[in-house]
Amino acid sequence: MKISEIHQEFADELNDQRALDYPEEFLGPNWKEVLNFWLYLDTLSLEQIDIAWRRYRNLDEGERFVAFSVADVAAHATLAGNFIDAAACEYDEIGDATRELMGVHKILELGKSLTFVPLLMDL
């Protein structure tokens, strides 16, 4: 399995290299989506990350807060909080998108749509 930079940082943050070999234990039922997303992020240039950041900052503050709350609750309903915090990297837009993917099934069950993941697509 190819390991993304964020996946390696996640394992280092947890101080548990098992997170590399058994990501399903640490990332929950949507672990494949999270890992594929992290691999995708490795392909982005700094310019593309900057575009995503600007898209994130251009969201209405209230919309961003509600979307974060939904993503955070969905992620916490799926797995342990310390894993979520470790997986949410230093960039807000990437960390919030990771939270969305961790709990995507819960978000969709609520009839909500993703807010942060689309900001990182079509760059």
pLDDT given for residue 78 in this prediction = 85
pLDDT given for residue 5 in this prediction = 93
**CB-side neighbour CA atoms (13 Å) of 25:** 9
Structural domain count, the chain: 1
- d(CA 20, CA 14) in angstroms, rounded, equals 11
**Does 82 score more than 70 pLDDT?**
no
- d(CA 30, CA 50) in angstroms, rounded, equals 26
Q: Which of 70, 66, 58, 65 is nearest to 99 (CA)?
A: 70
pLDDT in tens, 31-73: 999 999 999 999 999 999 999 999 999 999 999 999 999 999 9
- Structural domain boundaries, residue 107: 5-120
The residue ranking higher by pLDDT, 77 or 91, is: 77
The residue ranking higher by pLDDT, 101 or 80, is: 101
pLDDT in tens, 102-120: 999 999 999 999 999 999 9
Q: Taking every pair of C-alpha atoms in the chain, what is the biggest distance, in angstroms?
A: 39
pLDDT given for residue 83 in this prediction = 72
